[in-house]
Structure 1
Amino acid sequence: MSNYPLYYLLPSLLLVALLGTLGEKPKVNKYPQNAITSHDWPGHDWPGHDWPEYNGGPDRNHFSPLTQIDTTNVAQLKVAWEYASGGADTVRNTTQMQCNPIIIEGVLYGVSAGSQAFALEAATGRELWKTSITDQTFSMTSRGLTHWTDGKESRIFFAYGSFLYALDSRTGKPIPGFGTNGKIDLKEGLNRAGADDYVISNTPGTIFKDLIIMGTRVNESAAALPGDIRAYNVRTGRLAWTFRTVPRPGEYGYDTWPKDGYKNVGAANNWMGMAIDRKRGIVYAPTGSAAFDFYGGNRHGSNLFANCLLALDATTGKRLWHYQTVHHDIWDRDIPAPPNLFTVNQNGRKIDAVSVLSKQGFLFVFDRVSGKPLFPIEERAFPASDIPGEQTWPTQPIPLKPTPFTRQGFTEKDLSPLLTAEDRAGVLTELKQSRSGQPFLPLGRERTVFFPGTDGGPQWGGAAVDENGILYVPAKENPVYTAIRDAPKTQTGTTSLTGKKLYETNCGACHGTTREGSHDGTYPSLLNVSARQTAPAVHQLLSKGRGMMPAFTHLKEAERKAIVDFLFGKESSVTADPRPARTTLPYSHTGYNRWYDSKGYPVSQPPWGTLTAINMNTGDHLWQVPLGEYPELTAQGVPPTGTDNYGGAVVTKGGLLFIAASRDAMIRAIDRKSGKTLWQAPLPAAGYASPSTYFVNGKQYVVIACGGGKLKTKSGDRYVAFALP
């Protein structure tokens, strides 16, 4: 846990003494959290009035022991303050905010829609400082910040693009002694011949003593850099240790790849964040799939440490144990969120546990020290691939308990009753021509249906766990389809490459080969782009990236210009890059195609978004309810269907779950015992983020970042805080 040192509190205590005889009440936190440092937080044994780390604490459980707001008074919640953070693109709706703000001793730290860090008075929303960083590499959407203190200094760590900044928590100014002028470049040390140079960090780092442990987000193409996990000294920025997720000769796991696999394959990266047991000195780091996501003909083997939960010695980076949740992943089934650390009671014995989610809707639960599964996991056989060169792993691990919290395959019986007759006939025809009905069906030339979709199931928002070991997880259940296709041919030397060919190679998988984009707006249409954007603006977007869009730094400027010319209806071509070719593969895929009907609703039977409570002591489900609604359907008498959702919940000892996440731009308070909604309020834009809760000046607040921008919802820049009157 992070907190301000005691000397920060002394001026306030002196002020109390000086003003006491005058009868004036100083504006200080009633319950200062000055007894605990970031080095020794023993779980939930803390005053709990702050929200000092990403997802609430080192266990990432989204839990708060606050009780002022409870089931009896939550209906009285009102807006306490709003803060316009700036940077929202409300014309094209391309910006987002996914930040889970941290709150320390009455100060809230967050990230704006324009990717700038800021500090506010947590009781009023008044801005204290805000950065104005304009480095060349543009940041992806940030999910938050990291705080560190040793009792004398107090620092905020903030990632912007590939740079990690150390900021003075009182002023927001970079600290000169950290790295170079207050920042380090996370690209340094991530080298692989044939790789591009796309590296960012959009999930906060994890503190252990004087180290900040960082994962990164890299490309998902064959040219991805490796996903090394690294620790840096918080004072100097010097590299302290590295754990290589694609092992080298002599390292454990090297034989799970082809010879010299580390030279040819990247990713297996920690983009989703970590949890840490500071008492034991163990950091728990999940990883994603090896790149390319949907074909592994160049990486035969199980591919450690891709798709793994890693338990590492936080001091040295040494592997203590691991578990692989998907072998030789060709489905992009990353572990999507940080682990949860909690204690369960099994057969009268208390066991410290760690769990991770699966995009497939699975929960894997282990003894935190030994790595032994706490519930049975079965290796089951699945079909082999028929794509030349591919060698799928013959089995995959399936937890027998807890049972999945999403459906596991899309069949005719799963069609939505809301489909029109015409839509139903069309979906049935397409379904009969598809691979569908179970998990882990290898992609082929015909469409393969993922259910839940390629991004889950559960999302990066992760699960909340209360003090009794009850886990609450939001998820979505929308079918997505894709197929393997031949990659556009690329050549080097003097061959001329057209803008169209460059577009197909670099952009087609997401925006579609015909530039139509995705139906839900996740990947916008690029048809008639000249009516919405200028050519220089698109060129800058390709150069710097924005939101979900990576920077195309692997392309030369002339190649980016040729793509822009193609999008704006001009004929142009360039001589192919004579430099050594980037890593390429013979296959690509046809994009992330979310399956919607003609009215824009998922073709699957509702619920389309859910919130599930699971007793982690027994593995039994307690309840599941739809999360979100389409108001126009509810007005027609259709029961709430749930919606796509992004972001997690806060669970409090006051008996409540607070969650936004849904596309209907509402925030809800839910009775954690029953799943019943007790209160809801509209937001200025959808809250695709996890809320935070905190206590300052005698009041409990709940705050949410309202960034919108996904699923064709409007973008926003507001942080909104609620409290009792």
Structure 2
Amino acid sequence: MRRFILPLITAATLVIATQFTDQSSDEEWPEYLGGPDRNHYSRLTQITPANVNQLQVAWEYHSRDSGQVQCNPLMVGGVLYGITATNQIFALDAATGKERWRFAQPGGGGLNTNRGLTYWQDQSDRRILYASGSYLYALDAVTGKSILAFGDNGRVSLRAGLGPTAKDKFVISNTPGTLFEDLIIMPLRLSEGADAAPGSIQAFHVRTGKIAWVFHTIPQPGEFGYDTWPKDSYQNKDVGAANNWAGMALDRKRAILYVPTGSPAFDFYGGNRQGKNLFANCLLALDARTGKRLWHYQIVHHDVWDRDLPAPPNLVTLTIGGKKIDAVAQVTKTGYVYVFDRVTGKPLFPIDEKPAPQSTVTGEVVWPTQPIPRMPAPFTRQFIAEKDLNPYAANKAELLETYRKAKKGFFQPLSETPTLVFPGADGGAEWGGAAVDPEGIMYVNANEMAWLFSLSPTPKSDELTHLSPGQRLYTTHCVACHGPNRQGNPTSGYPSLINIQERRDRAFVTKIITNGKGMMPGFASISSTEKQALVAFLFGDEKVEATAKAGKETAMPYVPYRFNGYNKFLDSQGYPGIAPPWGTLTAINLNTGKHLWQKTLGEFKELTQQGIAPTGTENYGGPIVTASGLLFIAATKDGKIRAFDKKTGAILWERELPAAGFATPSTYQINGKQYVVVACGGTKLGTKKGDSYIAFALP
């Protein structure tokens, strides 16, 4: 899961009944990432390596709602469905980009980032399902109107099956749900602090919104894995998460659902949750009808590094030793790919349990080993030596000093001394995931950014009595990301809150505290009086803050250590502190485990102009691959979309977008013409805002 800072409440994934999916045309893009196998693959062939350089803008849809958009749009029956920066759902004519309808929730949508919608159809009943805030909604796909018979007046709570400990806690969804027959199984994004809700997997009935089944990722008494946690962890107030937030894959023929899970919470200290902590950081295979566990594999034991499984797995058919095997492949933040028999869960390449360092933090007991596959080879570097520091940095001596003081190495536990975490907090692989073609070749983009993580003792409540009510709340909830002096960490994505009253009003800030925005989670559990005190502190209004002292403060679960924030290891100019490449695209033959090629992905124009070879950039959003031999990807900080030859990795075409496209493209064909469309919202990584979806086609 991507940190307690990114409250993503995604537009629900397009729901598709089995009969509808099986009949859907190769010309459509009916589900998130192209289909239930999550392979980002299209059989279309009109755009080829020979003519891709002729692509032109076919249409551009301006939503008039600018801001980050991570949506992978759907196309069904000639209609393109997408979502805006503030979660307004729209339907367009897929050939012209002309708007057919648009839906905005009464009272305004969530401030979260969404990655897609779900479309479901049973004869004339056609629905769009999407998540906003803590709810799952259903719309009529033809008219865009709410389906009031779904749940309670068109919505159901995403907390419905989580139990009493989830009450009033932060629960949203930023990734589309997965459809099986008339069930939709929803990913959840939760807090990553000690106040996290449990991350149970929930299936809802598409027609009624009622819960069909629940799988407990923090096992309850009598369930497999219960003994991998301290007794009754499932109902402890200071233990939670182990949730799926990245999305799932589905083998519809076998009715097997593949669920990658994230870390338990609190993310960075596990002294209160000693043990392996099943089913956190697992690839789970569940019976899609009942939620029964079929098999699992834990990829990180007792995670204290936030090493969530960051993307849906890929369902592939491989040829190994002359035998065809239906397989499931999972990419990871660490840059490894784990490949299993889809039915039995048996690893298809050997995996070794390697000794890992022990913690020096009081009360922490990390697991003594971690599983590392022998093949495929990792698609990112695994270690950074002194020789690997940024050779272009103006402050090389400072970088070297920071590097030498930091703890380093394989699964190095966090402590009060900064630990150099590499690959970093956002991978390796990130939520965009990998594309795989029918030949079993995986194409995965990756970040190569080191981060500095550390812990510090958590002040006890009696140590904070000298602070004002608002400052106490800020110290408890906000310091890790925005800093002790409210200065933020803009280079790592956390804005300064100094003089926020000059940029925002109290109502807006209060809404963000409650619901979250972008990477920030909401704090729905703190009282209205406490929110008033916190806002008064941020606005420097001591008089108002003083009047907000009344009432008992919300008791937060106590964990002896707190996280000191997500700090990128950067040089004095804001470039990565390590040598390039800083972003890559890799082709891996999953049949053999061997890499076919690796290319840098993205560039900094100002460095290229200095004669430095393209360095690659941080990138968010995945690739798509087509039967004609092309790979399309946006994702990069430089704001371009590119087409690569999938066989060689050569760039065949590139185009600058209206704003950076931190989203996975879609491709479809209508009226005999193939289109490639991508959402261009920008804002992430300091890029400019955008509000458009742009489609490319041949003349």
How does the TM-score come out when normalised to structure 2? 0.94
Change (3 A) 1:471 1:551: same
Which position in structure 2 is the counterpart of 1:590?
564
Which of 426, 431, 437 is residue 460 of structure 1 equivalent to?
Answer: 431
The amino acid across from 2:220 in the alignment is R
Cα distance in 1 between the residues matched to 2:167 and 2:612:
50
Q: What's the CA shift string for 1:570-606, capped at 9, x where partnerless? A: 3335548637723221111110001111111111000
Kept in 1, the 8 Å contact 2:111–2:512? The answer is no
The amino acid across from 1:57 in the alignment is G
Whether 2:312 is the aligned partner of 1:312: answer no
The amino acid across from 2:103 in the alignment is T
Shift of 1:309: 0.5
Shift of 1:170: 0.2
Secondary structure, aligned partner of 1:520: helix
Which position in structure 2 is the counterpart of 1:249?
221
Cα distance in 1 between the residues matched to 2:166 and 2:648:
53
Cα distance in 2 between the residues matched to 1:195 and 1:204:
23
Which position in structure 2 is the counterpart of 1:83?
61
Kept in 2, the 8 Å contact 1:351–1:367? The answer is yes
Cα distance in 1 between the residues matched to 2:590 and 2:510:
50
Kept in 1, the 8 Å contact 2:296–2:345? The answer is yes
Shift of 1:135: 5.2
Which of 59, 71, 74 is residue 52 of structure 2 equivalent to?
Answer: 74
Change (3 A) 1:41 1:131: closer
Cα distance in 1 between the residues matched to 2:524 and 2:209:
25
Which position in structure 2 is the counterpart of 1:7?
none
Q: What's the CA shift string for 1:412-453, capped at 9, x where partnerless? A: 121011112xx11001111111101x2310001110011111
Which position in structure 2 is the counterpart of 1:27?
none
Which position in structure 1 is the counterpart of 2:73?
101
Cα distance in 2 between the residues matched to 1:131 and 1:58:
26
The amino acid across from 2:95 in the alignment is A
Whether 2:688 is the aligned partner of 1:714: answer yes
Secondary structure, aligned partner of 1:629: coil
Cα distance in 2 between the residues matched to 1:658 and 1:491:
56
Which of 450, 465, 470 is residue 421 of structure 2 equivalent to?
Answer: 450
Which of 498, 513, 516 is residue 542 of structure 1 equivalent to?
Answer: 513
Cα distance in 1 between the residues matched to 2:535 and 2:163:
29
Kept in 2, the 8 Å contact 1:66–1:700? The answer is yes
Q: How does 1:264-303 map to 2 (within 5 A)?
A: 264=236, 265-303=239-277
Which of 603, 617, 628 is residue 629 of structure 1 equivalent to?
Answer: 603
Shift of 1:539: 2.2
Whether 2:649 is the aligned partner of 1:678: answer no
Q: What's the CA shift string for 1:55-102, capped at 9, x where partnerless? A: 0000000000100000000000000001112322xxxxxx31000001
Shift of 1:508: 1.0
Kept in 2, the 8 Å contact 1:491–1:576? The answer is no
Kept in 2, the 8 Å contact 1:659–1:668? The answer is yes
The share of aligned pairs that are identical, in percent, is 57
Which of 171, 174, 177 is residue 205 of structure 1 equivalent to?
Answer: 177
Shift of 1:46: 6.5
Of 311-320 and 580-589, deviating more is 580-589
The amino acid across from 2:664 in the alignment is S
Which position in structure 1 is the counterpart of 2:697?
723
Cα distance in 1 between the residues matched to 2:391 and 2:467:
52
Secondary structure, aligned partner of 2:18: coil
Q: What's the CA shift string for 1:319-346, capped at 9, x where partnerless? A: 0000000000000000000010010000
Q: How does 1:536-685 map to 2 (within 5 A)?
A: 536-571=507-542, 572=545, 575=549, 578=552, 581-685=555-659
Shift of 1:191: 3.1
The amino acid across from 1:558 in the alignment is T
Secondary structure, aligned partner of 1:549: coil
Q: How does 1:418-497 map to 2 (within 5 A)?
A: 418-420=392-394, 423-436=395-408, 438-490=409-461, 497=468
Cα distance in 2 between the residues matched to 1:667 and 1:549:
28
Shift of 1:566: 2.2
Cα distance in 1 between the residues matched to 2:36 and 2:379:
25
Cα distance in 2 between the residues matched to 1:534 and 1:142:
25
Which position in structure 1 is the counterpart of 2:3?
none
Which of 168, 181, 189 is residue 153 of structure 2 equivalent to?
Answer: 181
Which of 359, 372, 387 is residue 361 of structure 2 equivalent to?
Answer: 387
Which of 476, 479, 495 is residue 505 of structure 1 equivalent to?
Answer: 476
Structure 1: 5+ residue stretches without partners = 1-35, 89-94
Secondary structure, aligned partner of 2:473: helix
Which of 139, 145, 151 is residue 123 of structure 2 equivalent to?
Answer: 151
The amino acid across from 2:127 in the alignment is R
Aligned length: 679
Q: What's the CA shift string for 1:453-480, capped at 9, x where partnerless? A: 1121111000000111100000000110
Cα distance in 2 between the residues matched to 1:46 and 1:148:
12
Secondary structure, aligned partner of 1:565: helix
Shift of 1:564: 2.0
Secondary structure, aligned partner of 2:493: coil
The amino acid across from 1:372 in the alignment is K
Cα distance in 2 between the residues matched to 1:138 and 1:666:
28
Secondary structure, aligned partner of 1:633: helix
The amino acid across from 1:662 in the alignment is T
The amino acid across from 1:440 in the alignment is F
Which of 91, 102, 105 is residue 133 of structure 1 equivalent to?
Answer: 105
Shift of 1:48: 1.0
Q: What's the CA shift string for 1:147-193, capped at 9, x where partnerless? A: 11122311111111111111111011111221111111112232344
Of 74-83 and 495-504, deviating more is 495-504
Kept in 2, the 8 Å contact 1:194–1:223? The answer is no
Whether 2:323 is the aligned partner of 1:349: answer yes
Structure 2: 5+ residue stretches without partners = 1-15
Change (3 A) 1:410 1:519: farther
Cα distance in 2 between the residues matched to 1:684 and 1:455:
25
Cα distance in 1 between the residues matched to 2:356 and 2:642:
40
Secondary structure, aligned partner of 1:187: coil
Whether 2:356 is the aligned partner of 1:373: answer no
Cα distance in 1 between the residues matched to 2:138 and 2:496:
38
Which of 491, 496, 518 is residue 525 of structure 1 equivalent to?
Answer: 496
Shift of 1:37: 6.1
Q: Which has the larger radius of gyration?
A: 1
Which of 651, 670, 675 is residue 701 of structure 1 equivalent to?
Answer: 675
Shift of 1:695: 0.2
Cα distance in 2 between the residues matched to 1:687 and 1:193:
38
Change (3 A) 1:122 1:598: same
Shift of 1:195: 6.8
Secondary structure, aligned partner of 2:684: coil
Change (3 A) 1:158 1:293: same
Change (3 A) 1:135 1:533: closer
Cα distance in 2 between the residues matched to 1:442 and 1:235:
46
The amino acid across from 1:60 in the alignment is R
Change (3 A) 1:83 1:298: same
Shift of 1:637: 1.0
Which position in structure 2 is the counterpart of 1:61?
39
How does the TM-score come out when normalised to structure 1? 0.91
The amino acid across from 1:509 in the alignment is A
Q: How does 1:152-171 map to 2 (within 5 A)?
A: 152-171=124-143
Which position in structure 2 is the counterpart of 1:48?
26
Shift of 1:533: 2.3
Secondary structure, aligned partner of 2:653: strand
